[in-house]
Amino acid sequence: MSERPNILFILTDQQRYDSLACYGNDWLQVPNLNSLADESFVFDAAYVTQPVCTPARASIMTGLYPQSTGLHRNNIPLPAEVPVIAEMAPEEYYCAHFGKWHLGDDTIKQRGFDHWVSVEDFHRPRYTKREYRNVEADYNQHLRDHGVEVPPSDVSYEGWVAGANLSEDETQAGFLGQAASEFIEDFADGEHSDQPFLMYLNFFEPHPPYTGPLNDLYDPATLPVGPAFLKRPDGGSLVNRLRADHYMGGGLNPLGTRGGDVHDTTTEEGWRKLRAQYFANITLVDRQLGKVFAALKDSGMWDNTVIVFTSEHGEMAGDHGMLEKRSLYEQASRVPMLMRVPGMNSNQTRIDGSFGQVDLVPTLLDMMGQELPGHLQGRSRVPVLNGEETLEDNEVFVQWNGMGDRNLGSPAINRMVSVPWRSVVTGDRWKLNLSPGDQCELYDLNSDPAELENLFDVPEHHDRVRQMAASIRIWQQETGDTMPLPAV
């Protein structure tokens, strides 16, 4: 591999960590991701900075925590003074962005990217300039080319696609698989072929709706589930109990139901069907990645391309009786994390310990030979890949800031979702979730990986709670986080 390798960064939306063979899933049909994992560093426990789209995506792109990007919730544009990785990359890199952006002005080429392929224009009323508001997403033309009527401009993909009956090729995943493959094929012989590329490929799927062209791929009745499936979190926070009661009582995402994403969540049969269709959309993405990987190999660039694969957050999919994200449970805050680095590894190499996505930007800049800017809050983990360091004692910090979030089903839920949280996962695999306005939580991820027993109020663990809370306070001081923590 050259000193200036190509970088292909693949980001899915709402993909659980336990969806690949390297994380114990031996039944899901994801041959391309499983093959990638066989040649990659596999991070055992990778965490998002906040389990919801915009804040998590901003950290992935900037190397900063939400309190520093200013993006505490969805539908806030990234401030102009906060640089993303393409603005920090070496000058010789040709930077391309494909797919979901969700950081403002989605259809407009920006932020140091030389090439831009957009998929959504639902946010046009929020664009920062009036003249941007009539710019359509590139995906719309793909739909027209396939004879599909584009969704109304005031309806999101999430609120439209459930009733659109799209084929695999017509989905956003299908469009991105085609567009990214063609870009790679053209790049190899094009005017920029003497440059390395930095390419971000951002899929919407398997984000809800919980339906798609592969709905019948998996048998709901035989679908493997874990001990937390439909298990109400009786000893946990009020917000999680309220959400579990809402979903298991038949409640759904109001955005999705308007577009026809309706499921029976009062029965196990209904939950299993929803879950099977969710996992089928991961297979949908994997099939498109097969095209992208083939294009890299056919172009001769496979052996000089670093490939990173992760997701911006997970999905509850019935665990703890809940749907979606917005939770500190492992299913929502922990994600798959693969790094294929030619010249460093050719076989699967496990990286023990916890990894935080705030470290992605500095790690990639380091791989590109770029001196790291001093404002970054993450660290390069290249020394870990080289075997010079470990993540054994690394502490990872996750947060929730819900004020101003959308309607999640009831006034009671909406009130409690507005209460903030701060979480730490320690090197010895304990998790502490602190909130100034809800029942706090402590889980031993070693003996209780399903997080079924909240140990926060158990006297013998009070000193552990105090130590872990002190770690959060130190991190807050270092990163400018001002959320008040409860006394412990």
Q: Dump pLDDT digits (tens) for 421-430.
A: 999 999 999 9
Strands 197-202 and 6-12: parallel
Query: What pLDDT score does 405 carry?
Result: 81
How high is the mean pLDDT of the chain?
Answer: 96
Query: What pLDDT score does 265 carry?
Result: 97
* Of 126 and 324, the one with more pLDDT: 324
Q: pLDDT category, 256, cuts 50, 70, 90?
A: confident
Compute the average pLDDT of residues 224-247. 98
CA distance linking residue 166 with residue 161, whole number of Å: 7
Query: 75-108, pLDDT tens digit by residue?
Result: 899 999 999 999 999 999 999 999 999 999 999 9
Query: 26-75, pLDDT tens digit by residue?
Result: 999 999 999 999 999 999 999 999 999 999 999 999 999 999 999 999 98
Containing 58, the helix (H) or strand (E) segment is: helix 53-62
DSSP 98: E
CA distance linking residue 438 with residue 464, whole number of Å: 19
Strands, E, within 211-291: which ranges?
none
Q: 293, 287, 259: which is closest to 173 by C-alpha? A: 287
CATH topology of domain 6-391: Alkaline Phosphatase, subunit A (3.40.720)
Query: 377-387, pLDDT tens digit by residue?
Result: 999 999 999 99
Q: pLDDT category, 126, cuts 50, 70, 90?
A: confident
Query: 134-164, pLDDT tens digit by residue?
Result: 999 999 999 999 999 999 888 899 999 999 9
Length of the chain: 488
Compute the average pLDDT of residues 215-238. 97
Strands 396-400 and 94-99: unpaired
Compute the average pLDDT of residues 114-142. 93
Burial of 261 (0-12, 13-18, 19+ CB in 10 A): buried
Q: 433, 444, 443: which is closest to 488 by C-alpha? A: 433
- Per the structure block, which two tokens stand in for 386? 């080289």
Report whether pLDDT(1) > 70: no
Report whether pLDDT(469) > 80: yes
Question: Quick one: what percent of the chain has pLDDT higher than 70?
Answer: 100
CA distance linking residue 167 with residue 165, whole number of Å: 7
Q: How many CA atoms lie within 13 A of 447 on its CB side?
A: 6
Fill in the amino acid letter for 172.
Q
Residue identified by tokens 């986080």 is: 481
Query: What pLDDT score does 279 carry?
Result: 98
Q: 405, 398, 388, 399: which is closest to 426 by C-alpha? A: 398
Residue 308 φ/ψ, nearest 5 degrees: -115, 135
Query: What pLDDT score does 3 carry?
Result: 83
Question: Quick one: what percent of the chain has pLDDT higher than 90?
Answer: 92
Burial of 234 (0-12, 13-18, 19+ CB in 10 A): exposed
CA distance linking residue 340 with residue 362, whole number of Å: 16
CA distance linking residue 85 with residue 399, whole number of Å: 22
DSSP 318: T
Query: What pLDDT score does 403 carry?
Result: 84
Query: 165-221, pLDDT tens digit by residue?
Result: 999 999 999 999 999 999 999 999 999 989 999 999 999 999 999 999 999 999 999
- Per the structure block, which two tokens stand in for 427? 């090197």
Which region holds residue 176: left if phi is over 0, alpha if psi is between -120 and 50, else beta?
A: alpha
Give the predicted TM-score (pTM) of the model: 0.97
Report whether pLDDT(240) > 80: yes
CA distance linking residue 72 with residue 404, whole number of Å: 9
Query: What pLDDT score does 254 carry?
Result: 81
**Domain ranges, ordered by start, for the chain:** 6-391
Residue 325 φ/ψ, nearest 5 degrees: -115, -130
CB 243 within 8 A of CB 413: yes
